[in-house]
Structure 1
Amino acid sequence: MSMMAADWLGSVVTINCGLTLGVYQGEVSSVDGASQTISLRQPYHNGVRCPVPEVTFSAMDIKELKFLDIQNTATKPRSGQGITTKPSLVSAGRNGQSNRTTHSHATTNMFHSSTAPISIPLRGSSNSTGVMIPSQKRNCVRNGGAGGSVRSKDDECFGDRTNKDLDTDFDFEGNLALFDKAAIFSQIDGSSGHKALHHSAPAEQKPQSYRHDENILEGKPVKYKQITVPQHGGKYYCTDSGLVVPTIPYKLHKRLLEAAERCGLSPERRLEMIGVCSSQMALSLLGGPNRLSPKNSHQRPTVVLLCGPHTQGAQGISCGRHLANHEVEVILFLPSFFKMEDSVTSEARLYSRTSGLQVANVRELPVSPVDLVINCLNSHENPLLREQSWYQSAADWANRNRAPVLSIDPPISEQPQTVESKWILSLGLPLPLAENESRLYLCDIGIPKLVYSEVGISYYSPFGCKFVIPLHPV
């Protein structure tokens, strides 16, 4: 070993090996000029004490070498000086990898944090307790004074006690299993958890907890059976909010409409209300704003209306007029009859002013499936219409078309549905319809509350903020 290499022994140096290997600090224990290696004893790697007593580096792995302190103060070289015979030890090659660094023992847990200050104890110096050096700065603390406190703080952060668990991975799953989330939340929601959080409040004064969508103002208990009828239809339904809606027989339903007409709710006004609500439901079934928008005019939905010469048919024609006004392609099937109700004639006249089509023969209806079929073929007053040929041909076309069917105000019948409906829309209060797989909806037709009381019905509106609501069997 040359004389200059011997001067390095005992010096404290910082060796930067790049991002892959990181930064090492320690006391020079040996320098081999022939093999171009340098060894450090008691090394620190990225601010953490290495678990091995000595580390050896090859010149090819060293990016930068800095002297923090030299044992022989008479010949103290500057950073990057003192190596004249082998300059490759100071300026290492760029292609060096981790396999070029020889460790005396296998090292683990490589931390790539080079910003923490490092305190390295120096041997052979009586007035220095340690060296505080950030990896990005060259300032050295060599004197006494505050060195003792700095040494104690550094020992707490980077002492040997932190090295014993470096080879053990933290067991996240095992630690998480120790936390019983359900038990903790039940304790918080229960009286025991409340007492633990509020020692001064007695258990009987524990405030009620509310969800984010609940009203925090205290009110009267909700009465879910708020609609009572003098003649029950035999079935009960409930709304999404839990309100019970009973069915009524058709005779009571007819008396209710007659009472509403005497109070000023004429059939024309009732038809308009039904047309608006049923068309709004149909627009939602067709896709709403996702399907009906100015940017999507090339995919306009097609709806076929099957209507008879009666009040239910007039209701369907009113629905079709509103659908046509909302840029829906509507095709109205209304056969030519010798006698039709005045409401059907007036609604058909209004419909003829829209862009909708009207056909009188089933053969003129589309062969390919349409988006929606609205069934208004049946009549409450004349159930014999289902035996006529035009009715049967229209029902057969609807069942063959494979399009979903919405039936508006179908009558009570013990026979199975002629047209298989996916949705049924009842008016005011539901009728006791036959058991089927159809989804029942209820439409608000604008009957005042006092009109219900005139026919003996104690009424509370189940509609809330809507005009069409779903009903679920109880």
Structure 2
Amino acid sequence: MMIRFITETGIEVPAVTAGQMREIDRIAMEETGPNLYQMMENAGRNLASLAMELLGDRWNKSKIVVLAGSGGNGGGGICAARHLANRNANVTLCLANPDRLGSVPQFQHKIYQNTTGKTIGLEQFKNEKYDLIIDALIGYSLKGAPTGVILQLIRWANQAKTPILSLDVPSGVDASTGETPGEFIRADLTITLALPKTGLLPAKTGDLYLADIGIPPGTYKRIGLDYASPFDKKYSIHLKVQQY
């Protein structure tokens, strides 16, 4: 089975595997820019914007929880939590492994701690009810079935009967193949970053959006991709997925 990713205006957007995306990130960080701080900021802002759009007029009366891992995906989630808190949204952050946060996610968390947003642990919010769950646990770097605290958070989210918005790739889904080696987030919406991933099958992602994180065309050219921006005047767009 093959899949194509098409914008609302009929533009086909090339898809990449996790390995290709890792190389795009490397080229951006080491050669062309933007750096990781900039990409994470752009990802988080786009994620927060889509969350508010999804909640509609009640966005600032809704309870939002962000589930964040320790890597880049988690950093994007922490950044989104800060943007939401800065707009007086009722946002709570749950860090899966706070003692393992990478340096850039740590930087995002330092900023977040100066907002009105809350940070709580797994046991503290298990019985809470939320209007939106944001999944920023794993991203495209899945290695085997989720375990430990991340597995507990995935189970809690799936049982919560609350809309779930995933960042980049629903946690537990292989970004390249769409396979699920263990339990995975059953997302209602996914906002993927830079380019769609080849494993983003509709049954796993829900409605799919694409976010611009500031990577220039020359970065894609270096891995042989003929890229033209599909964003027009927007920073995130809806994608239709065609299977054939």
Count of aligned positions = 232
How much does 1:379 deviate? Answer: 4.4
1:276 lines up with 2:45 in the alignment = yes
Q: Equivalent residue for 2:138?
A: 378
Equivalent runs, 1:340-359 vs 2, <5 Å = 340-359=101-120
Partner residue of 2:16 out of 248, 258, 263: 248
Contact 1:239–1:462 (CA<8 Å) still a contact in 2? yes
Is the partner of 2:209 in helix, strand or coil? Answer: strand
Paired position in structure 2 for 1:419: 185
Partner of 2:197: 431
Q: What 5-or-longer segments of structure 1 have no aligned partner?
A: 1-232, 293-298
Alpha-carbon offset, residue 403 of structure 1: 0.8
Mapped pair 1:323 → 2:88: no
The structure-2 alpha-carbon separation of the partners of 1:468 and 1:322, relative to structure 1 and needing over 3 Å to count, comes to: same
Closer, same or farther: CA 320–337 of 1 in aligned 2, 3 Å: closer
What CA distance in whole angstroms lies between the structure 2 residues aligned with 1:385 and 1:308?
15
Report how far residue 348 of structure 1 moved: 1.0
Bigger relative CO (Cα 8 Å, ≥ 6 apart): 2
- Consecutive unaligned residues of structure 2, counting only runs of 5 or more, are none
Q: Structure 2: which amino acid aligns with 1:471? A: L
Contact 2:45–2:80, Cα closer than 8 Å, also in 1: yes
Task: Name the SS of the counterpart of 2:22 in structure 1.
Answer: helix
Match of 1:400 among 152, 159, 169: 159
How far apart are 1:283 and its partner, in Å? 0.7
Q: Please say which of residues 256-265 and 442-451 is displaced more in the overlay.
A: 256-265
Separation of aligned partners in 2, 1:275 and 1:439: 18
When normalised by structure 1's length, the TM-score is: 0.47
Secondary structure of residue in 1 paired with 2:146: helix
Equivalent pair of 2:17/2:199 in contact (CA under 8 Å): no
Q: 1:450 to 1:379 in 2, by over 3 A?
A: closer
Q: Equivalent residue of 1:238, what SS?
A: strand
Q: Measure how far apart 1:449 and its partner are.
A: 1.7
Structure 1 or 2: larger helix share? 2
- The corresponding residue for 2:228 is 460
Q: Distance in 2 between matches of 1:445 and 1:311?
A: 13
When residues 335 and 454 of structure 1 are mapped into structure 2, their CA distance, relative to the original with a 3 A threshold, is: closer
Structure 1 pair 238–382 and aligned structure 2 pair: CA distance change class (3 A):
closer
Which amino acid counterpart does residue 120 of structure 2 have in structure 1? V
Q: CA RMSD in A?
A: 2.0
Partner of 2:58: 291
2:125 corresponds to 1:365: yes
Which string of whole-angstrom CA distances, capped at 9 and with x for unpartnered residues, describes residues 271-293 of structure 1?
11111111111110111xx235x
